[in-house]
Amino acid sequence: MTPVIRFYSIQDAYGEFSNFAPYPILLDKKRWPTSEHYFQAQKFLDANVQERIRSASTPLLAARLGRDRKQRLRADWESVKVSVMRRAVEAKFRQHDDLAVLLLSTADARIVEHTDADAFWGDAGDGSGRNMLGRILMDIRTILQTERRK
Ligand SMILES: Nc1nc(O)c(N)c(N[C@@H]2O[C@H](COP(=O)(O)O)[C@@H](O)[C@H]2O)n1
């Protein structure tokens, strides 16, 4: 049977896979404290709002700012959010080799963001969620496996 790796809290096993884990990334010529900061900031086209989110002191605060609907969400967000997440997560694993090694160590395990707080990026707690973050992680793992086999 395929093993399953469930992650969520950054304090627990495989917490490094969470976007809240403290692994800065360089993207769009800027340094982002976490992939969560980058993802949340891309919801907005206003450079000032993006900058406020980039400067947030914690990923939780960045997420709160990104979820604040007083700010106007970019019109195409629903159609671009998965590719934005993929870009952020790929940057994180390419820019931190220790993370790439950890991801590769999971071999062919199914990776699941396990939380009842999120039915899109996570599994909704009962497996009914889409687990999009887990899927992105597994896609990036496949790319890294292929590259490192060459
Ligand atoms: N720590 C945490 N708390 C929540 O309430 C969550 N929903 C998640 N999931 C992560 O949230 C990010 C997406 O946020 P949006 O709801 O799209 O603004 C993404 O990083 C999920 O992995 N995490």
Burial class (CB in 10 A: 0-12, 13-18, 19+), 99: middle
**Residue 18: per-residue pLDDT:** 98
**What interface predicted TM-score (ipTM) does this complex get?**
0.91
**Residue 150: per-residue pLDDT:** 76
Tracing tokens 């597994």 back to the chain, one arrives at 138
d(CA 66, CA 63): 5
- pLDDT at 141 > cutoff 90: yes
Ranges of H-type helices in 27-76? 35-41, 47-54, 59-66
> Cα 24 from chain centroid?
12
Whose Cα sits closest to atom 20 in ligand 1?
A: 19
Whose Cα sits closest to atom 21 in ligand 1?
A: 121
- pLDDT at 145 > cutoff 90: yes
Helix (H) or strand (E) holding 77: helix 77-95
CATH of the domain at 50: 1.10.357.40
* Structural domain total, the chain: 1
- pLDDT at 1 > cutoff 90: no
Average pLDDT, the chain: 97
**Residue 28: per-residue pLDDT:** 97
Domain span including residue 37: 4-149
**Residue 136: per-residue pLDDT:** 99
Q: Is the CB of 67 under 6 A from ligand 1?
A: yes
Whose Cα sits closest to atom 22 in ligand 1?
A: 121
Nearest atom in ligand 1 to the alpha carbon of residue 63 is 18
Digit-coded pLDDT (tens) for 67-119: 999 989 999 999 999 999 999 999 999 999 999 999 999 999 999 999 999 99
Sign of CA dihedral 63, 66, 69, 73: negative
